[in-house]
Structure 1
């Protein structure tokens, strides 16, 4: 008899061969090993919870990552210590393949690609969950002489496989759009929402069929196919600007899938880890939707399209003022308070270390430097915090939007590096704009603004930014890292 043990919320599924014996000696060994297994599970569960707690603040984030890593290691080791595991051959093969794929991704994947790498990880994890569910189904149903699944278990299994399969294809589409392998302009088929609801209805009917006729393995395979297509159709119409929210929502689906599989396999750690993953993904989606003033239904069934009548020519014509690094250095020399606003362009240019050097020089001259962090700056929550932490920026200088916004009028110079939509005043002034109502950083209220950007190209929303043409704004065109290095050099010479 073969059982499948799934470890971790989304990261791995271990396929092991079992040889259960009623011999007293073997049972005694099982009792001894069960103490090690459940002990490691208990510690791992506690570490997973502490990991999420510590990851909620930059000061303890590294501790949270370490706790999660140790917890996952204990979960894997605990499962492999189960008395009924008679061979590790396929486990070792899986570990080798996973290491070959995962190690290069972890080492060489740039910070700018973290959102799409996360989407790819979700795809792998969801596929693992779906495969475990599929294997368990055929183990219990298709093998002669094995008792059929009861209705409740079949219902849970159908939902688990449905969520795992749709998350797999949906995450692949999200990865493709963020990596620009697929154009963000793809809007899907006509009546796409009707198609999606129809696929959802078909999946529900197939699941009900399986509940009352669990041996209908062809229906089970049809459910997998419909789920895969549904995931594709659900995500492909959504624009690139909404992909970070979609990724966190898919993370929630995958976590729920893993938790349900824990009930099927009677694996308490999987239930806990999946529930933590699912709930945290849902909370993150809520935070991101709130940050963009969007609802779940608007993200999943709506489209972010430019509707504003204002054009780039109307806003920028004759109003944009370009500055040199020397001009910016002169402006900063007399500043008493500077606010740095990091964005995706900073991540692309890998300019965080130069920003830190610039801040150090300003602080040596008695200037106060702070960093304004928008919840979704850089395509995902925490993206900017991680980048700045790499450059040893003090945590107390990182200010959330609600805290920093009221202080912009007292700011001498606000330096915007690669940010666009999160500082666009149209969110407050144009009700027809696709970002209308989105909470933004009130950079335009600062006494002086310097925007470091390659060009006047729009952000994710595809609309112009009146900030760039404001009377108090200077544009420093160029690569973020190179441009700031020139400003630093000018300050040192001065």
Structure 2
């Protein structure tokens, strides 16, 4: 009875955890209910972790002498990991969220790979379980090393893509060697043949090759592809966790892993569509390989203007559509932006926000940025909903965005972003662009919008410029009084 009861409690706890994870994910689909969704999912994880300690009540007799030490190590790991996560999560600015997501995602993949390593070293003879364990080990290892490289790129430690002649051949060879090493392990285990190396060494070689492939796969990828990379590795981590859940016969891991994997896959599909890239192109053919494009000549000139003049023009407009980008997040100007918006609204101006799916360095980053500043959700519109309104808008205010408003995606077939859905900011009657300088976007091309007749540049840090705009509008009120 004492061994049956813990197993029953574990199963029930795992099912409860899986339900809380699914319910939390459902609530995360709306910005209004997302905070509670995160809380429910967190409670589910806590339930699953606590339930895992009940396995100690039904361990084999030979393992009982090590029970106290292993439980202590588990508690210590939870304390250290939880403390570091709490500290970094509470102190990291919003602009560092993509890097943190990449690191945590890599940690999930690494955890799945570590589980697979323990299962393999402990011995697994069932063919299905062996294949699933090896697959989870491969995917988890790739997610771990690839996510670390993605973190380095997002954090600025790796400044540019690293490419060399024959890179795709090298990547393909590394992947084939990884598969061959995993296949050889499976052959040795299932056939009982004598291995050429000790099994722990073979397993280490397999994991080493998988980690190297993850690095080689990610190094050549440019910054413009980072949103897709994050979602791909998110799917990888979920799939690896689900596979290792099958190896351990743990329903909570299986359900959570498959849900995360499916969500990551759907997000990858949406990101690929938003960037006019096919999934096969991203994963199997030209992943991280950028063709050389000759940009068409851009006519016109840049026309700088003052922050105060732009603000006064918007104060007397009927409708203003704001396009936020990573530059707004980097300047931490979201609070000043909403303060400026409220001044415009008080003057009777209709203000809306236009969000591109790949704006920023992480999917959904702009939505979170605006939510943090308290912008009401009914003012925030996605690309397909807001694009028809640009033609009738008096002003489009672009803040720190670049490629997502570049009309070359519609007009220049030689452009690397040709065919990518963009926000039609150039169709507004007047466009103001707040930008630090004349730098290029992630795609490495000059934005044709900046040279159009209806566009003016407002140079400077977004927070500083928005502060000047607020003062200009308030100055009008004082003059009127």
C-alpha contact 1:340 1:416 (8 A) present in aligned 2: yes
* Alignment partner, residue 249 of structure 2: 266
C-alpha contact 2:9 2:51 (8 A) present in aligned 1: yes
* Alignment partner, residue 53 of structure 2: 80
Give the one of 103, 111, 129 matched to 1:153: 129
> Any residues of structure 2 matched to 1:355-370 within 5 Å, and which?
355-370=337-352
> Any residues of structure 2 matched to 1:327-346 within 5 Å, and which?
327-346=309-328
C-alpha contact 1:315 1:464 (8 A) present in aligned 2: no
C-alpha contact 2:161 2:219 (8 A) present in aligned 1: no
Which whole-Å deviations, capped at 9, do the CAs of 1:101-157 have from their partners, x for residues lacking one?
Answer: 3223201222112112111112212111111111121122xxxxxxx5122222112
* Alignment partner, residue 50 of structure 1: 23
How high is the TM-score relative to the length of structure 1? 0.89
| Structure 1 residue 175 displacement after superposition | 1.0
Q: Separation in 1 of the partners of 2:178 and 2:82?
A: 35
C-alpha contact 1:152 1:211 (8 A) present in aligned 2: no
SS at match of 1:59: coil
Unaligned stretches of 5+ in structure 1? Answer: 1-27, 141-147
SS at match of 2:224: helix
SS at match of 1:414: strand
Q: Separation in 1 of the partners of 2:292 and 2:154?
A: 19
**Once structures 1 and 2 are overlaid, which stretch shifts more, 176-185 or 76-85?**
76-85
| Structure 1 residue 183 displacement after superposition | 2.2
Give the one of 94, 99, 103 matched to 2:82: 99
Q: Separation in 2 of the partners of 1:470 and 1:283?
A: 36
| Structure 1 residue 99 displacement after superposition | 2.6
Unaligned stretches of 5+ in structure 2? Answer: 60-66, 477-481
Q: Separation in 1 of the partners of 2:231 and 2:248?
A: 26
How high is the TM-score relative to the length of structure 2? 0.91
* Alignment partner, residue 472 of structure 1: 454
Are 1:409 and 2:391 counterparts? yes
SS at match of 2:360: helix
Are 1:184 and 2:160 counterparts? yes
Q: Separation in 1 of the partners of 2:186 and 2:307?
A: 69
Give the one of 211, 226, 232 matched to 2:186: 211
| Structure 1 residue 306 displacement after superposition | 5.3
Q: Separation in 2 of the partners of 1:249 and 1:185?
A: 18
* Alignment partner, residue 237 of structure 2: 254
Q: Separation in 2 of the partners of 1:203 and 1:443?
A: 47
SS at match of 1:377: coil
Q: Separation in 2 of the partners of 1:109 and 1:489?
A: 30
C-alpha contact 1:308 1:430 (8 A) present in aligned 2: no
* Alignment partner, residue 10 of structure 2: 37
Give the one of 235, 260, 263 matched to 2:218: 235
C-alpha contact 2:296 2:412 (8 A) present in aligned 1: no
| Structure 1 residue 284 displacement after superposition | 0.8
Are 1:310 and 2:296 counterparts? yes
Q: Separation in 1 of the partners of 2:9 and 2:219?
A: 45
Which whole-Å deviations, capped at 9, do the CAs of 1:410-458 have from their partners, x for residues lacking one?
Answer: 1111111100000001111111111110000000000111111111101
Q: Separation in 1 of the partners of 2:461 and 2:315?
A: 22
| Structure 1 residue 31 displacement after superposition | 2.7
